[in-house]
Structure 1
Amino acid sequence: MEFQDKTMVITGAAGIFGGWIARYFAARGATLCLSDIRMEALEKVAADLALDPKTTLLHATELTSDASMLDLVDHVRREWKAPDILVNNAGIYTRFGLLDMDLSDWDRVFGVNLRAPFVLSREMAKLMITEKKQGSIINISSGAARKMNQNSVPYCTSKTAIERLSKGFAMELAHHGIRVNVVEPGFAPGSEVSELSDDYVANMLKNIPLGRASGPDDAAGAIAYLCSDKAAFITGAVLSVDGGNSIGNYKRPEPASTGG
C-alpha cells in the first residue's frame, strides 16, 4: 500500500491504459480522480474496481475545452487542495494523410495530446506549489515520438513535442520539488479506438523483440516506480516500456530446423 496517502489524477481513465493505471494504483492504496470525456465509462471503471464513491472523484472532461479542464482543476482543488500525482494519459491516434486531413482534425490531435497536458500540468503544479507538495507528473508518450509512421504524422509529432514539453516542465518545476517524467507504453491490442484485425495484431507482435504485447502491469508499474521515493532523483526522463519495440526494425529469427 505504498500510495495509501497519495491522491492521483488520471486523464483518459476509461481507456485501456487509463483503466490499467487506475487498477494498479487503487490496489496500492491511492485515492483517485478519474477523468475522461465519457462519464458513464468512468462510472463503470469505478464500479469494476470497487472504488469508494465517498473518496473517488469522477470528472467528465473535454480536453479541448479550457473551461472543462479548469473545472477539473477546480474540482480537485476543492476536494484535495492539490493532487500528489498527475498522469496525463489521454491521447488521440488518428489515421490521416497530411494532404487529406481537415485542419480541425489536426487541431484536435494537438489539443488533446499536447495542449491539454500543458494546461493540466501547469494548473495542477500551481496547486502543488501552493500546498508545498513535492508531487509527480507523468506524461504518457509513445515510441512514435522517435519513429515516424505514415498516415499518423500528427500523432507522432505531438508525442515528440510532449516529451520536449515534459523536459521543460522538469527544469522549471525542479526547485519546487516537483518531478516530471515520461512513460512510453508498448503496443496493446484494444488501445486504439478502431478495432484491430487479428492479422494486424499478429504482425505487430512479430516486431516486438520480447515477443508479447503490453500487459496491465507493465506501464503502470513503470509509472508507480517514477512516482515513488525510489525515483526521488529522477526527473526529465523518458522510460520506454515496450518490449524493445522502439529500438529499431526487428525480425524474429525463424525456428531452428530439427533435421530429419
Structure 2
Amino acid sequence: MEFQNKTMVVTGAAGIFGGWIARYFAERGARLCLSDVRMDALEKRAADLELDAATTLLHATELTDDSSMLALVGLVREAWGAPDILVNNAGIYTRFDLLDMAFEDWDRVMGINLRAPFVLSREMAKLMIAEKRAGSIINISSGAARKMNLGSVPYCLSKTALERLSKGFALELAHHGIRVNVVEPGFAPGSEVSALSEAYVANMLANIPLGRASGPQDAPSAIAYLCSDAAAFITGAVLSVDGGNSIGTYRRPEPAAAT
C-alpha cells in the first residue's frame, strides 16, 4: 500500500489508460479524484473499481472550458487542500490532413492535449505550493512526440509541445519540491473515444519489438515509480513504456522455413 492516503487526480479516467491508472493506484491505497467529460462514465468506473464513495471525488470536466477545469480544481481544494499527484492523462487522437482540417478541430486537439494540461498543472501546482506539498505531476504523452505520422500531424505536434511544456514546468517548480515527468505509454487497442480499425491494430502490433500491446500494469507501474520516493531525484524526464515501438522502424522476422 505504498500510496496509502496519497491523493491523486486523474483526467480521462473513463478511458482505457485512465481506468488502468485508477485501478493500480486504488489497489495501493490512494484516494482518487476521477475526471472525464461524462459523469455517467465516471460513476460506472468508480463502481467497477468498487471505490469508496466517502473518499472518492468525481468531476465531469470539459477540458476545453476554463470554468469547468477551474471547478475541478476547486473541488480538489475543498476536499483535500491540494493533491499529492496529478496525472494529465486525457487526450484525443484524431486523423486529419492539414490541408483539410477545420480550424475548430485544430483548436480542440490543442485544447485537450496541450492547453488543458497547462491549465491543470498550473492550478494544481498552486494548490501544492500553498499547502507546502512536494507533489508530483505526470503528463501522458506518446512516441508520436518524436515522429511525425501522416494523417495525425496535429496529434504529434500536441504531444511534442506537451513534453517541452513538462520540462518547463519541471524547471519552474523544482524549488517548490514539485516534480514533473512524462510517461509515453505503449499502443493499447480498444479506445472507445478513438476507434481503430482491425487492420490498423494489426499493423501497429506487427511493429512492436517486444511483440505485444500495452497491458494494465505497464504504464501505471511507470507512473507509480515516477511518483514514488525511489524517483525523488527525477524531474523533467520522459519515460517510454512502449515495448520499443518508438525506437525506430521494426518488422518481426519471418519464421524459419522447416527443413
TM-score by length of 1: 0.98
- After superposition, the C-alpha distances for 1:74-94 in whole angstroms (9 at most, x for unaligned) are 110000000000000000111
Tell whether 2:234 aligns with 1:218: no
Q: Which residue of 1 aligns with 2:41?
A: 41
> Do the aligned partners of 1:183 and 1:239 also contact (CA within 8 Å) in 2?
yes
> Do the aligned partners of 2:82 and 2:128 also contact (CA within 8 Å) in 1?
yes
Deviates more, 1:199-208 or 1:131-140: 199-208
- After superposition, the C-alpha distances for 1:205-255 in whole angstroms (9 at most, x for unaligned) are 110000000000100000000000000000000000000000000011111
> Do the aligned partners of 1:208 and 1:243 also contact (CA within 8 Å) in 2?
yes
Q: Which residue of 2 aligns with 1:2?
A: 2
Q: Which residue of 2 aligns with 1:74?
A: 74
Q: Which residue of 1 aligns with 2:166?
A: 166
> Do the aligned partners of 2:170 and 2:180 also contact (CA within 8 Å) in 1?
yes
Task: Provide structure 2 residue ranges, at least 5 long, that are not aligned to the other structure.
Answer: none
Q: Which residue of 2 aligns with 1:90?
A: 90
Structure 1: distance between partners of 2:110 and 2:191: 19
Letter in 1 for 2:56: T
> Do the aligned partners of 2:93 and 2:194 also contact (CA within 8 Å) in 1?
no
How far did 1:192 drift?
5.9
Amino-acid identity (%): 83
Secondary structure in 2 aligned to 1:100? coil
How far did 1:256 drift?
1.5
Q: Which residue of 2 aligns with 1:175?
A: 175
Structure 1: distance between partners of 2:203 and 2:120: 36
How far did 1:203 drift?
1.5
Taking the TM superposition and a 5 Å limit, the aligned residue runs for 1:133-172 are: 133-172=133-172
Letter in 1 for 2:240: S
> Do the aligned partners of 1:84 and 1:136 also contact (CA within 8 Å) in 2?
yes
Taking the TM superposition and a 5 Å limit, the aligned residue runs for 1:1-260 are: 1-191=1-191, 193-259=193-259
> Do the aligned partners of 1:185 and 1:242 also contact (CA within 8 Å) in 2?
yes
Could you list the structure 1 runs, at least 4 aligned residues long, displaced by more than 3 angstroms after superposition: none
TM-score by length of 2: 0.99
Deviates more, 1:236-245 or 1:186-195: 186-195
> Do the aligned partners of 1:93 and 1:192 also contact (CA within 8 Å) in 2?
no
- After superposition, the C-alpha distances for 1:125-153 in whole angstroms (9 at most, x for unaligned) are 00000000000000000000001011111
> Do the aligned partners of 1:226 and 1:234 also contact (CA within 8 Å) in 2?
yes
Structure 2: distance between partners of 1:151 and 1:240: 23
Letter in 2 for 1:161: A
Secondary structure in 2 aligned to 1:169? helix
How far did 1:201 drift?
1.5
> Do the aligned partners of 1:207 and 1:249 also contact (CA within 8 Å) in 2?
yes
Secondary structure in 1 aligned to 2:138? strand
How far did 1:204 drift?
1.0
* 1:56–1:143 Cα change, 3 Å: same
Secondary structure in 2 aligned to 1:50? coil
How far did 1:197 drift?
2.7
